[in-house]
Amino acid sequence: MSHHEYYEALVRLEARLPNPAARSLRYLVDSSPWVRVPPAVALTVGGVFGFLPVLGFWMVPVGLVLLAQDVPPLRRPIGRSLNWLDSKLPDVKKAKE
């Protein structure tokens, strides 16, 4: 999977997110690695402790999506996962019409 295909999958994910979450994800994806990597690592490590009340397992995939921006070997599996997720989730925009 090329960087372009990964980026397209990421754009489709952003389109499905609520506006505040999509803006936050876009900010982190577009920012420098010095801004992006610490929250990515924190989300991934914090997600491992998802059984605790404040943390959640949702943090692991978000952290991996951010890490894939800077770790090219992660782009292919994360991009495939985003494509799989996109194919399984109902299209919210069509459902509202």
Q: Report the C-alpha gap between 37 and 43 in whole angstroms.
A: 10
How many Å apart are CA 20 and CA 57, to the nearest integer?
20
Per residue in 33-42, pLDDT tens? 898 899 999 9
| Residue 19: CB atoms within 10 Å | 8
Average pLDDT, the chain: 84
Q: What is the pLDDT of residue 31?
A: 86
Contact 41, 63 (CB under 8 A): yes
Please report, for the chain, the start and end positions of each structural domain, with discontinuous segments joined by +. 3-89
% pLDDT > 90, the chain: 9
Res. 29: pLDDT tops 80? yes
Average pLDDT rounded to a whole number, residues 61-80: 89
